[in-house]
Amino acid sequence: MKSKFLRILGVLIFMSFYQQSFAQNSEVKRSDLYSRGIENNTFIKKGQWLTGATFNYSEHANDNYKFLILEDWSGKGYNFQVSPFVAYFLNDNFSIGGRFTYNRSLLDIDELNLKIGDDLSMSINGAHYLSHTFYSTFFIRNYLSLGKSNRFGLFNEVRLSYGYGQSKEMTIGQTPAETQGIYSVINEFNIGVAPGLVAFINDNVALEASIGLIGFSNKWTKQVENQVEEGERRVSKANFNIDIFSLNIGLAFYL
């Protein structure tokens, strides 16, 4: 499996470098080729630094809420994520960099009834879930200006990341013996491609938005229940579609 991911990563990095090399050599003998009017302008110059961060936060609170098969839902929760990054431009419109991401989630359920049919229902009276995950990411970016504008541009980012996290789950039973607690350790490996849009507010400050488009991930989870029973789960998946839940909006500084 590791060799498979390394091969995929090699292909993605080769495509990124090839795109940069092709853009530099595309001006040679252009008159002999069919021209589509696409110009390769210098959007970000060689030698510049890029730094910034993205931030996401959401929360919810429910009081006797009903939705489809969910009834009498009372509880609260939140999701928080912050991701600072830094990169250096090795060439015009081409940079390499790193990103650190921290994600934390909380879900408290005081009461929840699931009613699937007249003869099938399920109730949860007290549940708690808390998780936090750290990600380290290496990325490569290529930029393309929109027309002759130096204010708006597009970029394509190839990412390789590793994540480590922990989570705690507790379900309260009618008696202490029925109360269940689960502790999990999570390891995650991801390769992905994320196109985005950049808009400069002034010469050095810009707003960025990116969204996951193609991704490969492998996730391992080890659990310990009530400090006695152990379990494991492994999930591998590939995505070839637009993931709106991976939308990131942030502020970037070009120095």
Please spell the DSSP secondary structure of 60-106, one letter per residue.
EEEEEEEETTEEEEEEEEEEEEEEEEEEEEEETTEEEEEEEEEEEEE
Backbone CA torsion sign across 5, 154, 204, 84: negative
Is pLDDT of 242 > 70?
A: no
On whether the CB atoms of residues 167 and 159 are closer than 8 A, the answer is no
pLDDT at 31 (0 to 100): 46
**Mean pLDDT value across residues 160-170:** 89
Question: Is the pLDDT reported for residue 15 higher than 70?
Answer: no
Mean pLDDT of 115-133: 76
**Residue 28: its pLDDT value, please?**
45
Other C-beta atoms within 10 Å of 151: how many?
14
pLDDT greater than 70 at residue 214 = yes
What is the model's pLDDT at position 65? 73
Q: Are 98 and 50 in contact (CB under 8 A)?
A: no
pLDDT at 228 over 60: yes
- Residue 103 predicted with pLDDT over 50: yes
Q: What is the model's pLDDT at position 38?
A: 58
For residue 150, pLDDT over 70 is answered with yes
pLDDT of residue 225: 80
Residue 30's pLDDT is what?
A: 46
Percent of the chain with pLDDT over 90: 10
Highest-scoring range by mean pLDDT, 60-64, 76-80, 161-165, 200-204: 161-165
Q: Which structure tokens are listed for 178?
A: 């029925």
Write down the pLDDT at residue 136. 93
Q: What pLDDT sits at residue 102?
A: 92
119 pLDDT above the threshold of 50: yes
Average pLDDT over all residues of the chain: 77
Per-residue pLDDT band at 49 (split at 50, 70, 90): very high
CA distance 114 to 2: 40
Q: Is 159 exposed, middle or buried (0-12, 13-18, 19+ CB in 10 A)?
A: buried
Whether the predicted pLDDT of 20 surpasses 60: no
Strand intervals (E) in the chain: 49-67, 70-91, 94-115, 121-124, 127-145, 152-171, 180-200, 205-225, 229-254
> 68 or 144, which is more confident?
144
Q: For residue 29, what pLDDT band results from cuts at 50, 70 and 90?
A: very low
Residue 53: pLDDT above 70? yes
